[in-house]
Amino acid sequence: MGDRSGIFAGDDPFVIVRRWLAEAEASEVNDPNAIAIATVDAEGLPDVRMVLLKEVEDKAFVFYTNYNSAKAQELDQAGKAAFVMHWKSLRRQVRVRGLISKEEGPQADAYYASRSLKSRLGAWASHQSQPLDSRTSLMAEVAKVTARFGTNPPRPPFWGGYRLTPVQIEFWADGAFRLHDRFVWRRQTPESAWEIQRLNP
């Protein structure tokens, strides 16, 4: 396993991610849970964008989006994705690769209900990734859905979560002389046991 200790210690990668994220919440100025999620389109052309990681479960990672977005279409088509979390304040990052499934049940309902009213109405108003005439037309759409739903909008049927179940997680920390510390956890399937290896920087 290559002398794992200190910040890399532990037998469960999800526990390590939670620990690192908790440290980042104390030091990162904005959005410590921001991740860059990478997908590929039908032609195999990569795409990447920032989203907010909302849950680190015992076996997976969950984020939310509009199911009609380009991101969602690429996730549905490939069934696989990768993301990286990078914290400048800690000089650390976590890289994750794995399998994608939808989260559109009670868990998605509960998360949607926990968001601010403006965010909930915005989810209804935005036709994510589609062309937009102007900011004015978007705000007009917000006014329409506000009149329609008032202060208790339901979760839109086109909005919900995605769960990434990893087959690879890499923990990276800055080291002296650019000799960074890297440990990768790999498994063949989500049911397999993890194998851990130190990597060259």
Kindly name the residue from 91, 120, 178, 182 that is annotated as catalytic. 178
- Which two tokens mark 112? 């949607």
Residue 28 identity: E
Q: According to DSSP H, which parts of the chain are helical? A: 13-27, 70-78, 106-114, 117-125, 135-149
8 Å CB contact between 94 and 108:
no
The half-sphere exposure of 118 on its side-chain side, counting CA atoms within 13 A, is 1
The rounded distance, in Å, linking the Cα atoms of 141 and 125 is 5
Strands (E), the chain: 34-40, 46-56, 61-66, 80-87, 92-103, 159-173, 181-186, 195-199
Tell me, yes or no, if 178 is annotated catalytic: yes
Q: Which residues pair with 73 in a beta bridge?
A: none
The tokens for 115 are 């968001």
Distance (Å, whole) CA 201 – CA 198: 9
Q: Which residues are catalytic?
A: 178
